[in-house]
Amino acid sequence: MVNVTRLASGLTVVTDSMAHLETAALGIWVKTGGRNESAGEQGISHLLEHMAFKGTTRRSARQIVEEIEAVGGDLNAATSAETTAYYARVLKADVPLALDVLSDILTDPTFDAGELEREKSVVVQEIGAVQDTPDDAVFEHLQDLAYPGQPIGRSLLGTPETLRSFDRAALGGYLGRHYHSPSIIVAAAGAVEHAAIVADAEQRLVSLKGPAAVAAEPATFGGGMRVVRRKLEQAHIALALEGVAQTDPTLFSAQVFSNVLGGGMSSRLFQEIREKRGLCYSIYTFHMPYSDTGMFGLYAGADAEDTPELIRVVVDEMTGALDTIAEAEIARAKAQMKAGLLMALESCSSRVEQLARHIVAYGRPLPVDELIARIDAVTVESTRAAGLALLSRGRPAVAALGTGKNLERAVELAGGLTRLAA
């Protein structure tokens, strides 16, 4: 049973009690992420997420993890463009402990100077790991091209230069400006009691009272082309067009369009480019919605010499789908989406993440029946219309990593995608 309580402070508590479980997943979601960082703050949201676990006045960094792991649980956190989440998975009896630890790290962090210097070094290594992983690095370039000069386009990890500039005062100031009750959601699913979670959250997070944080600046999709020369065995190409926002009424049709093109092994691009032509090992499409914009696009890894042909086929398949998508493909994509949704409901961790995402996006948890109805409402006509809208939203962003003279040609061909769609 799903319950929602909004406290006078503005804090939202949402729970999904699952009586048949003996475990629970719970967390604190803050509606603050990379998009909320001002000039010079790039990477501070992610560093704050790391430093929250590095000690409070009540617990050392080691005690924080030992208290949870001593009862068989685990702690984790994640930073995105629009949210930062701190969460735990524990047994039923240990839910109060988990909420106490999660509350403690957000209301009373010490930001110890020694821990801060060590953690900045850890994040610099994380930046290096991304650069050593070309299928991650190409998306860093893609995001920058899609939203140039904007917080949403910058790497969530920051840069070695920005990281070195952060001190205890910077972290405390950022937390004090953005971590206020109206921007916070406490979510729990599994073996939990709503009233108990509400009472604990109200008591433990009382110090986070304050006004709602200033909204992030609106996103403006840019686009452009970039080839980064790297000595790699494969070339890595990613392209994106402006997608639709999380609350856009065409969202589900846009997601079906993406799934038909490259959402699985039966998709058009996988079958045509990998199975029939053998032009790549990996290829897929994606649609990532944000609060006010979105990114629809594609990633492929291939031999650099094959990239122009690969992109020609991509362009043909994407533009051709506007007129040829069939009912059977729509039905298959919708079945995949519904199966993924329903399978996730079997996990309390997936449920709690969905609850928090819905509160952030819609202000309420969407019932499963409503989600299924939205998927079922997608038709061939609505999918084609959504596809046409996606392919008509200005110039794409196209990034490529690798070597070989054909990469520039491939990127140029991808840049013509919207012209051909028109």
CA 8 to CA 206: how far, in whole Å? Answer: 11
Q: Which of 37, 41, 49, 140 is catalytic?
A: 49
CA 113 to CA 71: how far, in whole Å? Answer: 30
CA 1 to CA 25: how far, in whole Å? Answer: 15
Nearest residue to 360 via CA among 190, 254, 246, 221: 246
Q: What is the phi/psi pair of residue 170, to 5°?
A: -65, -45
Q: For strands 224-229 and 397-402, give the pairing.
A: parallel
Other Cβ atoms less than 10 A from the Cβ of 326: the count is 11
What stretches of 171-292 adopt beta strand conformation (E)?
Answer: 184-190, 224-229, 235-242, 282-289
Is 49 tagged catalytic? yes
Give every strand in the sheet of 2-6, ordered side by side.
Answer: 2-6, 12-17, 184-190, 23-30, 84-91, 74-79
Q: How far is CA 24 from CA 16, 161, 187, 393, 404, in A?
A: 10, 40, 11, 43, 51
CA 163 to CA 19: how far, in whole Å? Answer: 45
**404 within 8 A of 235, measured Cβ to Cβ:** yes
Q: Which residue has the tokens 């028109």?
A: 422
CB-based burial label for 116 (10 Å; 0-12, 13-18, 19+): buried
Q: What is the phi/psi pair of residue 78, to 5°?
A: -155, 145
Contacts of 229 (CB under 8 A, 6+ apart): 402, 403
In the three-class reduction of DSSP (H, G, I as helix; E, B as strand; rest coil), residue 25 is classed as strand
| C-alpha distance across the termini of the chain, in Å | 48
Contacts of 321 (CB under 8 A, 6+ apart): 257, 260, 261, 268, 384, 387
**81 within 8 A of 127, measured Cβ to Cβ:** no
* Active-site residue set: 49
